[in-house]
């Protein structure tokens, strides 16, 4: 019987906890490190071993996953004498699931190559709710051999896996998807405000949206939540604003015109100013209602 790889997970937040939990449920030995003791303990209760530092978590692991909020956090975890790459063994695979820039990703790739560590970019398309169900999509790029070795682990916590190439392709694809989603959110908000002003029934309007030509799995989920006026955060406005800034930076670097996304960024900034920074970014619906003179409270 083949020996199972030793797996480590760094960064146990709303996405990391459920994804790492699926690896444990699949029977793999797992060591976890997170600055949140409470989140570490959630995974420890499922059988994970707790590490006291990033360096300890990386040492001896065959595969090291990370799930982190931004470029700065990934740089801190990956690089430096106490980081993953300085402490991982040669031949290990470092698989990062964060949404970060192609620039920091390429920097880590260069360091990983020098240290004999396979580096995979596996940004996740989905949110905390889909992560709990194991229904996220894993966008993958990096060395194909490393991907082959890690694929069974990723299959444990994701519904779909898309291998896109040997470089930063997955980083760019994640930004492409989020760019479309964030602009679609603003379009939905404006459309619903127009519908309410015209006297359309709220529930009927959302039911129709969910069955229309513009419906997608994401639209259907959001329509269902909006019927209940449920704005429980799945991705906060602050986090989506971080992603928008990544989109706009890459657009500038590649001479791509993104006027709609630039305008949506300003609207998301306005949401933060209105106190919705830590709320779900679909609070943009409330912003459109407010700007149109409509009530933002529960609709009968």
Nearest to 176 by CA among 251, 242, 285: 251
Query: Cα separations (Å) of 103 from 73, 162, 167, 265?
Result: 14, 21, 11, 21
Q: What is the pLDDT of residues 287-296, one digit of tens each?
A: 999 999 999 8
DSSP lists the bridge partners of residue 31 as 8, 49
Please give the mean pLDDT across all residues of the chain: 95
pLDDT tens digit string along 56-70? 999 999 999 999 999
∠ CA 125-126-129 to the nearest 5 degrees? Answer: 165
pTM comes to 0.93
Radius of gyration of the chain (CA): 20
Q: What domains are defined for the chain?
A: 7-167 (3.40.50.720), 172-291 (1.10.1040.10)
Provide the token pair at 160: 């779909």
Mean local confidence (pLDDT), 82-90: 97
pLDDT tens digits, 96-115: 999 999 999 999 999 999 99
Alpha-carbon gap, residue 19 to 232, rounded angstroms: 20
> What average pLDDT does this structure show over 5-26?
96
At 161 the three-state DSSP class reads strand
Q: What is the pLDDT of residue 300?
A: 60
Handedness of CA 197, 266, 125, 168 (dihedral sign): positive
Give me the percent of the chain exceeding a pLDDT of 70. 99
264: pLDDT strictly greater than 90? yes
Given a cut of 80, is residue 33 above it in pLDDT? yes
Count of Cβ atoms closer than 10 Å to residue 280 Cβ: 23
Q: Work out the number of other CB atoms within 10 angstroms of the CB of residue 103.
A: 15
Query: Which DSSP symbol is given to 283?
Result: G
Half-sphere exposure of 179 (CA within 13 A, CB side): 20
The DSSP 8-state label assigned to residue 88 in this structure reads: S
pLDDT for residue 1: 43
The percent of residues above 90 in pLDDT, for the chain, comes to 94
* pLDDT higher than 80, residue 299: no
Pairing mode of beta strands 136-140, 124-125? antiparallel
Angle, nearest 10°, between helix axes 237-253 and 169-197? 120
Query: Does the pLDDT value for residue 199 go beyond 90?
Result: yes
Residues in the chain: 300
Q: What angle do CA 256, 106, 145 make, to 5 degrees?
A: 115
Q: Answer whether 82's CB lies under 8 Å from 53's CB.
A: yes
Position 3 scores a pLDDT of 83
CA distance 296 to 37: 37
User: Residue 217 above 50 pLDDT?
Assistant: yes
Angle at the Cα of 86 (from 81 to 88), degrees rounded to 5? 140
Q: How high is the pLDDT of residue 231?
A: 94
**Distance, CA of 119 to chain centre:** 18
Which segment of 53-57, 161-165, 294-298 scores lowest on mean pLDDT? Answer: 294-298
């Amino acid at each position: 019987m083949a020996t199972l790889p030793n797996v480590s997970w760094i960064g146990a937040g709303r996405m990391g906890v459920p994804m790492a939990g699926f690896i444990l449920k699949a029977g793999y030995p797992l060591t976890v490190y997170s600055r949140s003791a409470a989140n570490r303990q959630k995974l420890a209760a499922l059988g994970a071993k707790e590490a006291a530092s990033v360096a300890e978590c990386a040492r001896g692991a065959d595969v090291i996953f990370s799930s982190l909020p931004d470029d700065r956090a990934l740089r801190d975890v990956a690089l430096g004498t106490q980081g993953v790459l300085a402490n991982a063994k040669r031949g290990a695979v470092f698989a990062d699931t964060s949404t970060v820039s192609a620039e920091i990703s390429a920097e880590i790739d260069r360091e990983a190559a020098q240290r004999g560590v396979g580096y995979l970019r596996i940004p996740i398309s989905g949110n905390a709710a889909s992560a709990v169900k194991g229904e996220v999509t894993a966008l993958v790029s990096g060395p194909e051999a490393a991907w082959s070795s890690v694929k069974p682990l990723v299959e444990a916590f994701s519904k779909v896996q898309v291998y896109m190439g040997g470089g930063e392709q997955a980083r760019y694809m994640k930004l492409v998807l989020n760019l479309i989603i964030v602009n679609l959110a603003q379009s939905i908000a404006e459309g619903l405000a127009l519908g309410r002003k015209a006297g359309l029934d709220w529930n009927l309007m959302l039911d129709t949206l969910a069955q229309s030509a513009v419906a997608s799995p994401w639209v259907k989920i959001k329509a269902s939540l909006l019927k209940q006026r449920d704005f429980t955060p799945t991705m906060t406005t602050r986090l989506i604003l971080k992603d928008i800034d990544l989109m706009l930076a890459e657009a500038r670097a590649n001479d791509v015109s993104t006027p709609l996304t630039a305008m949506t960024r300003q609207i998301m900034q306005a949401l933060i100013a209105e106190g919705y920074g830590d709320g779900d970014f679909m609070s943009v619906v409330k912003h459109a209602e407010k700007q149109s003179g409509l009530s933002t409270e529960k609709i009968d």
